[in-house]
Structure 1
């Protein structure tokens, strides 16, 4: 069930199940209205004690009424406020879920990357000592670029990994032939034949496949969480159209003006009004469900280490 459908169900359930206290349909007194009106936090100044002619009303029926023009305006504003608050509250869990999941995954993946860099650095330092330390920037640059890719940087993974192996080959070739001096053109020529020479065997191909798969999945997943959060934030900020406010006021508060503050709308009526107010959000429903489905599958695959 989508967040917008939950808004509809919750709002209409609350409207129908709200406690209604008696008001005689034939009664001319506005005492019940005054009690309900002040319970909403409004002042009773200029609120009538008895029904009066309602020609001044613009939203509610213009028969005998307990509402002044000011009351009708305030009840319209109250309808809008209650609707906005309900949408905000209902979508809050969804939004906080995206935020917390993004934070946890981001911290987890960056920690994983940092630990990998540290482990490799410690192992190579123990194994090759000063020789590695003098050339460690090749590996440091690799991890810097991997982090930049993951965080949304404009990095071509394939080109970056190819460049890493080319740089590593040039360094090793120079170290193994330290008695000679090689020009940049000569070293560049050597790096061009890396695929044919295969000085590192099949390691570059296997590593490229593993790194590319892992980082594309991680970056796509974390960006999906960010997109979901932004969509949820925007959808939660409902632009309440004047027609929606009128419909909400008629449904929720025009009974006040008729002297029947306890009268509540039927379920179908309430749902129709809510569908109209959430029409724009409802258009997102198919795409949103596809996004959530893909996100759940992605989370499952990553958690399984695929």
Structure 2
């Protein structure tokens, strides 16, 4: 059994089942950004939730009990993270409540990773680098630990004051790509930034009137992350410039139902040392 088991529910005429199926597919697909895969048990619970046999709260409780009885190993902890975070993302995506504030962003991280990361909902106090496959092992320059809170507040203030009035859809897509890529680049948290950003962004897009119900995050979450990387990387001596072009293709498919081919290899660059 895999999350392809949800396909029949996506095709159903019952809105509640269809919406739940999309939420689960998105939630499970997003685990791929950190190389995580959920268990068969999680898929079984998700199907029961979609069918209305158990609530999302029941799902979370059952997962908690299930893993309490297990002997922890490194591999099991990764599966546990995938299962619990998938259920929590589904719960958040099923909740229409939302505030466009840094506190909401922080709260989403806490809700997703409480009990999994000791720093859930907390701003990191150290600088980070991450070797990226898409950059041939190079890293994006992430936000400086001493400036994270101020940088986050600035980005929210800029977006809040921005007017989408009279913009073409091309301009809107470009602006949204810039906003989400800059929010992600701050990398406020030690871990879990991409999943937090994706959930926050989906909920924000809904407030802008977009219907975010397709399989883009389910099937292309790794492309989404790599596109965020490419939107924040420069190597001028080798003629490499940050670009939102790949992120815009993703967003056009996500928001406009277009069908651009999304291949991770198209984003890969060779860094000459």
TM-score range, shorter chain: under 0.3
TM-score when normalising by structure 2 = 0.27
TM-score when normalising by structure 1 = 0.25
The structure with the greater share of residues assigned to helix is: 1
Query: Looking at both structures, which has the greater relative contact order when contacts are Cα pairs under 8 Å and sequence separation is at least 6?
Result: 1
Q: Give the number of the structure whose alpha-carbon radius of gyration is greater.
A: 1
